[in-house]
């Protein structure tokens, strides 16, 4: 199954980018040290937030379907990249709340590793670019 998602980014003379997807809008900006005003997530934070959001939503939907007593999920994602290598490491810490047994917690971890954004980031990524 092929799924397409599209966002549009627009920037003027500042570092602030307006990003739209359908009816939704967010702002991305660069840190002050890089000439921005820190009025929105920087691009790396946006990338990390995709994994955090997808992990939380995937676990919530799975627990609901299984009728498990999951009362909350917190996901922290840190991106570490090195300018000297091409390796980027995503470190994800998941905290679950609720009366889950060890078998359920183990399954929750497996489901987190199967969330769609996790699959994208750990698979082969190709970027095709054109320009007007």
Identify the structural domains of the chain with CATH numbers, from first to last: 8-40 (no CATH), 42-122 (3.30.300.20)
DSSP helix, strand, coil percent of the chain (3-state; round to 5)? 35, 30, 35
Euclidean distance between CA atoms 5 and 75, whole angstroms: 23
pLDDT for res 83: 80
Q: Position of tokens 């990003």?
A: 19
Q: 86 pLDDT band (50/70/90 cuts)?
A: confident
Q: In this structure, what is the dihedral angle of CA atoms 110, 53, 95, 77, given to the nearest 10 degrees? A: 90
pLDDT given at position 82:
81
pLDDT tens for residues 34-45?
999 999 999 999
Q: What pLDDT does residue 3 have?
A: 78
The pLDDT mean for the chain works out to: 94
| DSSP reduced 3-state for 11 | strand
Q: What is the pTM of this model?
A: 0.90
pLDDT computed for residue 17 by the predictor: 96
- β-pair type (17-21, 8-11): antiparallel
More confident residue, 5 or 64: 64
| Strand bridging mode 17-21 / 24-28 | antiparallel
Q: Taking a C-beta distance cutoff of 8 angstroms, is the pair 109, 94 a contact?
A: yes
- Is 33 a residue whose pLDDT tops 90? yes
Q: How large is the average pLDDT for residues 77-101?
A: 92
Of 55, 65, 42, 122, which Cα lies nearest the Cα of 92? Answer: 55
Report which secondary-structure segment, H or E, holds 103: helix 102-112
């Amino acid at each position: 199954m092929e799924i397409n998602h599209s966002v549009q980014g627009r920037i003027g003379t500042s570092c602030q980018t307006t990003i739209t997807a359908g009816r939704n809008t967010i702002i991305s900006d660069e840190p002050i040290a890089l000439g921005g005003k820190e009025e929105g997530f920087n691009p790396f934070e946006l990338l990390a937030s995709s994994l955090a959001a997808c992990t939380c939503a995937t676990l919530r939907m799975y627990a609901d379907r299984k009728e498990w007593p999951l009362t909350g999920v917190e996901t922290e994602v840190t991106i570490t990249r090195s300018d000297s290598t091409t390796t980027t490491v995503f470190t994800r810490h998941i905290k679950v709340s609720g009366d889950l047994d060890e078998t359920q917690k183990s399954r929750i971890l497996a489901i987190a590793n199967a969330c769609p954004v996790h699959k994208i980031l750990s698979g082969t990524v190709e970027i095709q670019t054109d320009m007007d």
